Every structure is written in structure tokens, then in C-alpha cells.
Amino acid sequence: MATVAPPNDTAIEREAEAWMHDPYDHFGYHNTRIHTLPCEEVEAVQLAAMNRRLAERRGQIKTLEKLADGQNITALATLDDMAPLLMPHDIYKSYPVSLLAKQRFDQITTWLSRLTRYDVSGVDVSDCDSIDSWLVRLREETPLDVATSSGSSGTCSFFPKSKRDYMTSVMGMRVQLAQKFGEHPRPGDLADKIHAIIPLYRDGHASTGAFAKYFGKIFAHDDPDYWHTCFNFKISSDLMWLAARLRAATAKGDASKVDVPPSLLARRAEWEQAQKDMPAQQLEFVNRMIHELKGQRVFVMGTSNLLYAAAKRGLDEGLSGVFAPDSVFMGGGGAKGVPLPDDLEEVVCRFFNCERMISAYGMTEMNSFSVLCDHDRYHVLPWVTVFLLDLETGQPLPRHGAQTGRAAFFDMTQDSTWGGIVTGDLVTVDWDRPCECGRTSVALEKKINRVSELQGGDDKISCAATPAAQAEAMDFLTGFGG
């Protein structure tokens, strides 16, 4: 299918170029303006940007080239034409896992080089003997700061994010979180140093450690007095990988079958002890921050349960309203099966002195975080195109009416990777209904499920094993199943 791109509109093209390059600068870091653009204009710019990116990246990213060539796509006439070029998120863990166990970082680097526009083939990784040493080498010698994560299968994914991508991500947080929607930004929202309180690690390659240094730059303006982390060291990607492999091996019924280098296996106790000590240390850290930074404007990013525990203890001690009223609290996650308390938001807000506890939807593979509005919808930044894909056919669902499908995104601000990603999330959008909050940006309903949770059906019994069946059994046996 050879499609012709729509004729160039110079104004739209110029707009697309600016959004792709530095959208926050282009909009004067103005959150309200960013979220109130006319939809038709946004879609026109998105389409122009997609065509520009495709033309530019297909020669730079090998995997994209193969995908586009295979489907004979050279240009996009509509937004939906992008659907065949969106990559499943699993592609970032599609290397053979034995290469990690054998520490063949040269081969994994070659694999990685096909997923980014940056040339990493010239980096000498022959002396790297761990994931950490490999990723540090790439970070030192290229624009990349590769992001890792481990799924339930125990495979570590490597997403070749660039440092610039991280800066764009975190700037998006500051712009969206520090300003009140409907108002102009106050000078301090943009220029002031804001205390960043991160009850996690100072450094690392996984999300629990990677973001801290960028928070340090964007919120604290590199002032160490404004940059607070609970663990002032780096979270080891090797240990995280070890933990994931151990979990996977245990689930298979033989914990001795762990395919990691022996030197790493020897560090098992170190990891387990750190995990055990962590919750108490985090609570202690937040309590310390409460006393040290009383009355100041802070940005806190932590799990909802941690914020709740700290707030509850503070209230019991007779404290409330401890930080400045324009502080920002972003909760989230929480371990599976650990229910969030009913009075979570009330307790957190009363103690920390904020109107709302913020939650956001985002992922490592994108530079954008979508913040939940007062009407419980996640608003997507205009430089991200949302696709809902039919679960059966994989085809895009119509961009009108209320639709529920597998979420996929194209993020035009991606500096290193292609930017088109298919997620495992089941998302609902009502395309025709403007959100009561006043934002015109695309709004995802608050309830987001995993597609995998939906499948399997009701009361169907099979003798063939599926991972879901096993995971469910494991959860039950370990007591988290409820």
C-alpha cells in the first residue's frame, strides 16, 4: 500500500517541527495553553509530524525500516495509517536471554543499535562484565541513557531512551504539575528551584533510579540542597535482574535453575536484605523530610501507600499542613494485591497541605505523562497521538464515540527511538465528549486494565498451561490473591 502524504502546509509543517523539537519551549511552558489547543489543528500537526519522522527515521532505525519496507509504507495519509508501524512494547526485550547470562554485551549492543537512531556500534563494550557496567559505558559514550525494566517472565527489557528524552519527560511533569490548569504560570512555577523528594534511589537504569538525576536538574536546578533521595546510591540493574530471574525460577518449581552468572547469584542475600529494610527506611526518610522542609514548596513522588503511612503517622502526632500549599504529591502504583485505603487522598492532602493527590499515566517508552484531571480522566499531551486498537483484529477503532481498546501511542518528541508503541493496556476514550475540566486534549478514562486480565474468558477450563493460570496460582499460594 503506497500512500501519498497530504500536501504540505507550511504553517502546519513549521508547527510540527517545533513540537517535535522542544514542545515546552514552543508553548512558553504554559500548561493551560498546551491542553486547550483545537483538536483539528492538533491532528493536522500530528499527521505532519508522523510523516516527517517516518521519512527521517526509517533510514536511521533498522527495525523501523524493516517494518515499513515489509508493509510498503512510505507515507501516511491519515493518523490511522500509522497503526501498522506501531511496535509492540515487547520488542525492547526481544534479544535472546542467554546473551545476558553469557555476558555477550557486544551482541546485545548490536541488537540495541537496531532500535535507536543513535549509532552505538562503535562503543567498545568488550570489557563490560555486568548490565550496570555496560549501561554506564553506553551512557558515558553516547547520548543514550538506556532504561531497564523486568517483567514477570524475568526478562529484562532495554529501552534505548536518550538523556534528552528523559529531560523532555521530566519537563513535562514540571510543566503539568507545578501549574494550576486554567491559570497562567506564575514566575516561580517555571524559574524557582523546587525541592524534589524522591523516596527511591539516587541513580540507576530502572525507573526507580533513573529519574532521580533528571528531577535533580529540572526541579532542583542541580542544587544538591533541593535534591533529596532516600537511598543515596545506585540501584543495581544486575541485582534487579537476578531478583526477576529468581522469581521466575521459583514459579517454575525449581529455584535452582537460575540462568545468571554465578558472581551475580552470590549477591542474592545482599538484594534480599535491601528489600527487607526498604519500607522502614523510606518511611524514616519521608519523616525526616517533613521535619527538614516544613513549610516549603516540595515535589514528592512516591507510592500511595508510603505517602499514606507517613501522613497517617504525622496526623497521629498532631501535625498537619506541613508543606507549602502549592506543593505537589504524586502517588501511584502500590504492590499488587495491597489495597489502597479508602481515606487515602483525604489523609495525604490534610497532612501534606495539598488540594489533590496527583496521579498520572505514563510509561518508560514515552516522554509524556498524562495527568488525571478533576473529572478523573488522564489527559494526553498534544504531541502524543492515541490509538485504540481492536483486541481481535489489531485494527484502529474509529476516532469517534466511546471506544475501548488496546492503547497504542505515537510520541513525536522521541529523540532516540521510533516513538510508536503498542501497550498491554486496555483504555477507554470518548472521542466526542469534551471533558468537563475544560481541557481539549484527548482524555483516557481513569479505569485502565491490562489486556491480559481480560482474556481467558469466564469459567473455561483447559488442561493446557497458560502463564496467567500459573501466576494466579502463585499469587494465591503466596497469599496476595485475597
Partner 1 sequence: MSPKRPISYAVLRGKVIETDLIEFGGRGGDITFLAPDPRLIADQIPLASPRLMEDLYELSFEDILDYLAELGERLHLKDNAYLQEALEYSYATAPTTKPIMDGFFHDMPFMFDKERIRGMVDFNIGIDYLEGWVEKAINGSKVGIRAYGARTLHIVAGNGPVLGALTVLRGAVTRGDTIVKVPSNDPFTTGAIARTMVDMAPDHPITRHLAVAYWRGGDEALESRLYQPHNIEKICAWGGFASVKHVTRYIQPGIELISLDPKRSASIVGGEALDTPELMDEAANRIATDVATGNQTACAACRMVYVMCGTDGEGVEKLKRLGRMTYDAMMRLPQALTTKPKRYDRDLKSQVDMLRLSDDFYTVIGGEDDEGAVIVSHTSDRVDFWEYLADRTVNLIPVETLDEVLDVVDAYTQTVGVFPESLREIVRHRGALHGGQRFVALGYAFNGPGLVGPQDGIEPMRRIVKWIISEEPLPGRKPFWECTDEEIKVVA
When asked if residue 283 is in the footprint of partner 1 (CB under 8 A), the reply is: no
Decide whether 91 or 330 has the Cβ nearer to partner 1. 91
Single out the residue of 286, 422, 429, 444 in contact with partner 1 (rule: CB under 8 A).
Answer: 422
- Candidates 96, 188, 325, 434: give the one binding partner 1 (CB under 8 A): 96
| Beta carbon of residue 251, minimum distance to partner 1 (angstroms, whole number) | 10
3-state secondary structure of 92: helix
d(CA 55, CA 58): 6
| DSSP classification of residue 296 | S
Phi first, then psi: what are they for 175, rounded to 5°? -65, -45
Segment near partner 1 (CB under 8 A), from 85-93, 261-269, 296-304, 378-386? 85-93
The answer to the question of residue 121 lying near partner 1 (CB under 8 A) is no
Nearer to partner 1, 67 or 412 (CB): 67
Among 45, 73, 87, 397, binds partner 1 (CB under 8 A): 87
Q: Is 99 in the site for partner 1 (CB under 8 A)?
A: yes
Residue of 225, 254, 316, 432 interacting with partner 1 (CB under 8 A): 254
Whichever of 188 and 481 has its CB closer to partner 1, that residue is 481
Least separation in angstroms between residue 150's CB and partner 1 is 12
Rounded Cα gap, residues 339 and 481, in angstroms: 11
The residue from 4, 280, 335, 461 that contacts partner 1 (CB under 8 A) is 461
Q: Which is nearer to partner 1, 40 or 458 (CB)?
A: 458
- Closest by Cα among 97, 229, 213, 86 to 150: 97
Nearest to partner 1 of 166, 387 (CB atom): 387
11 belongs to the binding site for partner 1 (CB under 8 A): no
Q: Cα dihedral angle (377, 379, 380, 382), rounded to 10 degrees? A: 150
Residues within window 44-73 making contact with partner 1, judged by CB under 8 A: 63, 66-67, 70
Give 75 or 451: the residue with its C-beta nearer to partner 1.
451
Q: Which residues contact 280 (CB under 8 A, 6 or more apart)?
A: none
Q: Does 472 sit near partner 1 (CB under 8 A)?
A: yes
Q: Is 88 in the site for partner 1 (CB under 8 A)?
A: yes
User: Binding to partner 1 by residue 467, rule CB under 8 A?
Assistant: yes
Write out the DSSP string of 94-128.
-S-THHHHTT-HHHHHHHHHTSSSS--TTS--TT-
| # residues contacting partner 1 (CB under 8 A) | 50
Burial 267-282 (b: 16+ CB within 10 A, else e): eeeebeeeeeeeeeeb
- Which listed residue (337, 473, 478, 480) binds partner 1 by CB under 8 A? 473
Cβ 291 to partner 1 shortest distance, Å: 47
Q: Using CA atoms, how far apart are residues 319 and 79, in angstroms rounded to an integer?
A: 52
363 contributes a contact to partner 1 by CB under 8 A: no
Residue from the set 7, 342, 462, 479 that interacts with partner 1 by CB under 8 A: 462
Maximum distance among all alpha carbons in the chain?
68
Contact 88, 407 (CB under 8 A): no
**CA dist., res. 130 & res. 460, Å (int):** 44
Contact partners, residue 141, CB within 8 Å, separation at least 6: 123
* CA-closest candidate to residue 57, choices 146, 4, 109, 118: 118
Q: Choose, by CB under 8 A, the member of 7, 10, 38, 98 that binds partner 1.
A: 98
> For residues 138 and 36, what is the distance between their CA atoms, to the nearest angstrom?
39
Please report the beta strands in 121-226, taking only residues with DSSP state E, as ranges in sequence order: 147-150, 156-159, 195-204
Residue 362 in grid coordinates = 505514563
Asked if 208 touches partner 1 (CB under 8 A), the answer is: no
Which set of grid coordinates corresponds to residue 96? 535472546
Residues 240, 295 contacting (CB under 8 angstroms): no
Q: Which cell goes with 406?
A: 488496546
Q: Does 452 bind partner 1 (CB under 8 A)?
A: yes
| Piece of the chain touching partner 1 by CB under 8 A; list 15-23, 312-320, 353-361, 463-471 | 463-471
Looking at 3, 32, 60, 110, which residue binds partner 1 (CB under 8 A)? 110
Q: Single out the residue of 153, 208, 287, 320 in contact with partner 1 (rule: CB under 8 A).
A: 153
106 binds partner 1 (CB under 8 A): no
Burial 446-460 (b: 16+ CB within 10 A, else e): eeeeebeeeeeeeee
Nearer to partner 1, 188 or 456 (CB): 456
- Verify binding: residue 112, partner 1, rule CB under 8 A: no
Q: Which stretch binds partner 1 (CB under 8 A): 25-33, 170-178, 373-381, 467-475?
A: 467-475
Q: What is the DSSP letter of 144?
A: B
d(CA 294, CA 286): 12
Using CB under 8 A as the binding rule, whether residue 457 contacts partner 1 is answered as yes
Residue 387 makes contact with partner 1 by CB under 8 A: no
Residues of the shown chain interacting with partner 1 in the complex, contacts defined by CB under 8 A: 63, 66-67, 70, 87-88, 90-91, 93-99, 110-111, 153, 155, 252-254, 257, 259, 391-394, 422, 451-452, 454-467, 469-470, 472-473, 476
